């Protein structure tokens, strides 16, 4: 069953006096529980696809349906609610709140969802334990390594059990050993919790881990490969 369906998505930007066609009619279906890499060089359109699936950006034409919700039929408030409850985001730059501890960063999404303080703390500590950060609950981002910060970001993304995790170049700022450890953790969560992971990447290691690689070039899908399971 498709959890993400994008149909003939087109997107262009104006940069100065130049019109840039970021997407030129991209169509892709992604099933619940897939571990998918949107791959391609810079400018291929992979991050734009991710942003549109996440409702962060709007296509110029085409439609996006996520978990049965057609974005074109939704108000901004309904779309924000869907993002809050159904989609987790992991960014290349971590995007942690510097004045908050690891535990508080993970709790933040649940705070927005109205989860009680007691339940937030319990869930935040459990998920931080799961990602290998037991005992580091009170550390702020500046007191954590890059790999540890990205683990906090993953914990924050998955703590509320979203249906989909969108990860934009999550290994780009990490050394290969740390990146591999992070991918192992994501793969485990994909397998055990049936969370759908969609990456944008040009990292060969991410592509090796992915079960499916959707390659983009110049705003179009060049090929779509499902590996042997």
Domains and CATH numbers, the chain: 34-55+76-226 (3.40.50.300)
| DSSP assignment letter at 43 | T
Low-confidence spans in the chain with pLDDT less than 70:
228-229
Strand-pair partners of 70: 65
43: buried, middle or exposed (CB in 10 Å: 19+, 13-18, 0-12)? Answer: middle
Q: Do the beta carbons of residue 170 and residue 92 sit within 8 Å?
A: yes
Q: What angle separates helix 102-113 from helix 76-86, to the nearest 10 degrees?
A: 130
pLDDT at 52: 95
Q: What is the pTM of this model?
A: 0.90
For the chain, percent helix, then strand, then coil, each to nearest 5?
A: 40, 30, 30
* Strands 61-66 vs 2-15: parallel, antiparallel or unpaired: antiparallel
pLDDT at 172: 81
| Dihedral sign, Cα of residue 172, residue 142, residue 144, residue 159 | negative
| Tens digit of each residue's pLDDT (9 = 90 or more) over 166-205 | 999 888 877 888 888 889 988 988 998 888 999 999 899 9
Q: Tell me, what's the pLDDT at 130?
A: 82
Question: Which strands sit side by side in the sheet containing 69-70, from one edge to the other?
Answer: 18-31, 2-15, 61-66, 69-70
| Mean pLDDT over the full length of the chain | 91
């Amino acid at each position: 069953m498709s959890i993400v369906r994008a149909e003939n998505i087109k997107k262009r930007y104006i940069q100065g006096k130049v019109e840039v066609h970021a997407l030129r009619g991209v169509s892709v279906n992604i099933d619940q529980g897939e571990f998918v890499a949107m791959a391609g060089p810079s400018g291929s359109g992979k991050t734009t696809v991710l942003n549109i699936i996440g409702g962060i950006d709007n296509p110029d034409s085409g439609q996006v349906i996520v978990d049965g919700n057609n974005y074109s039929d939704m108000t901004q408030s309904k779309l924000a609610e869907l993002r809050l409850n159904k989609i987790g985001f992991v960014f290349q730059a971590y995007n942690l709140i510097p004045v908050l501890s690891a535990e508080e960063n993970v709790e933040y999404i649940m705070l927005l969802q109205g989860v009680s303080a007691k339940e937030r703390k319990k869930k935040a500590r459990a998920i931080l334990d799961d990602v290998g950060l037991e005992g580091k609950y009170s550390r702020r981002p500046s007191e954590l390594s890059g790999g540890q910060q990205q683990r906090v970001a993953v914990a924050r993304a998955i703590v509320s059990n979203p249906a989909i995790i969108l990860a934009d170049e999550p290994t780009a700022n990490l050394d290969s050993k740390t990146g591999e450890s992070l991918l192992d953790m994501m793969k485990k969560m994909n397998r055990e919790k049936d969370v759908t992971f969609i990456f944008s990447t040009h990292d060969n290691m991410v592509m090796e881990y992915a079960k499916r690689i959707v390659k983009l070039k110049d705003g179009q899908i060049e090929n779509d490969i499902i590996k042997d399971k």
